[in-house]
Amino acid sequence: MRLDDEAESRNVEDRRGAGGGGGGGFRIGGGRSIGIGTIVIALAAAYFFGIDPMLILNGGSTGQSGSYSQPQTQQRQMDPRAQPQASANDQDAVFVRRVLGNTERTWQQIFRTRYNQDYPAPKLVLFSGGTATACGAGQSAMGPFYCPNDRTVYIDLSFYRELRERFGAGGDFAQAYVIAHEVGHHVQNVLGVMNKVDAARQRMSREQANQLSVRVELQADCFAGVWANVAQKNNAKLIEPGDFQEGLNAAGAIGDDRLQKQTQGRVVPEAFTHGTSVQRQRWLNRGLATGDLGQCDTFGAKTL
């Protein structure tokens, strides 16, 4: 990608090194301090690109959908004085601010064109270890996630290293795809998809709820593709040869089937919450190829 000309987002808050990592949370990176089976299972399922891992930690088997289901509460839990810090100028922070900035401009354009509405941009929090969110305690072990309650994307940038080294999915566009996928969840939230899904989940078995979750995730992948397509149309230099392939490679690397095989040694389709590698690639590619939100109806699709 060539991001040199991209204006940086002002919606990034840098909480790295804020000391949230120790606050009673669990670390998975190097440590093995987890003794509770359910948490391990939840993490395996929620490890990448959760909407909100609390959904799995709190809900699921109980039939409750946890904090994720109350988007109307705690709209803004962040300290209003904690203004986004534009001070950190390390490469990663600049990269994130530029990519997010591009998503803001691109989605604004899509919203104006398609809905004649302004796009309400999400916030993005960089953290290390753990941090407080309106969906509960965020932990880096969960991977990047979006919390609908505070309309914020949370990313511990050590995830990028993991993506590259453990899952062989390096490259700047792979990293941008991670952000774009979470922004895709934000778009779902704004468009009311999440509310509908929440309501439906209340009346479902766990297996059915997981299937619905897969459709939510694949749609976020498709939205990520739509973003990249439109962004490229606006600025042909932004996307370089091989970039889309990098994104597809990343989408394949974090499919539920491949992750399960890697973490549990076997594949349990009923526990899928994000879709298989092939499905994730297919829906990302649909967005990349068309740039059309109308192509992203994963809920109406007969086959995923």
- Stretches 102-110, 149-157, 165-173, 212-220: which one binds Zn ion (CB under 5 A)? 212-220
Of 8 and 145, CB closest to Zn ion:
145
Cβ neighbors of 144 (< 8 A, separation 6 or more) are 48, 49, 153, 154, 155, 156, 159, 178, 179, 181, 182
Number of residues that bind Zn ion (CB under 5 A): 3
Touching Zn ion, residues 22-51 (CB under 5 A): 49
Task: Tell me which H or E stretch contains 294.
Answer: none
Nearer to Zn ion, 219 or 249 (CB): 219
181 and 163 in contact (C-beta within 8 Å)? no
Calpha distance 71→281 (Å, rounded): 29
Distance in Å, CB of 236 to Zn ion, minimum: 28
Only segment of 25-33, 211-219, 249-257, 258-266 that touches Zn ion (CB under 5 A): 211-219
> Which of 220, 293 has the CB closer to Zn ion?
220
Smallest gap from residue 116 Cβ to Zn ion (A): 27
Q: How far apart are alpha carbons 259 and 47 in whole angstroms?
A: 9
Rounded to a whole number of angstroms, the minimum distance from the CB of residue 274 to Zn ion is 6
The contact pattern for Zn ion, residues 218-237, with x = CB under 5 A and - = no contact, is --x-----------------
Site residues for Zn ion, window 141-200 (CB under 5 A)?
A: none
CA distances from 77 to 88, 133, 148, 152 (A): 23, 8, 12, 11
Residue in 14, 156, 217, 257 binding Zn ion, rule: CB under 5 A: 217
> d(Cα 71, Cα 124) in Å, to the nearest integer?
17
Any idea what the Cα angle at residue 197 is, between residues 193 and 199, rounded to 5°?
120
DSSP SS3 for 136 = strand
CB of 201 to Zn ion, least distance (A): 15
107 binds Zn ion (CB under 5 A): no
Tell me how far apart the 2 most distant CA atoms of the chain are, in Å.
Answer: 51
Return the bridge partners of 124, or none: 12, 153
**Residue at shortest CB range from Zn ion:** 49
Binding footprint of Zn ion on the chain (CB under 5 A): 49, 217, 220
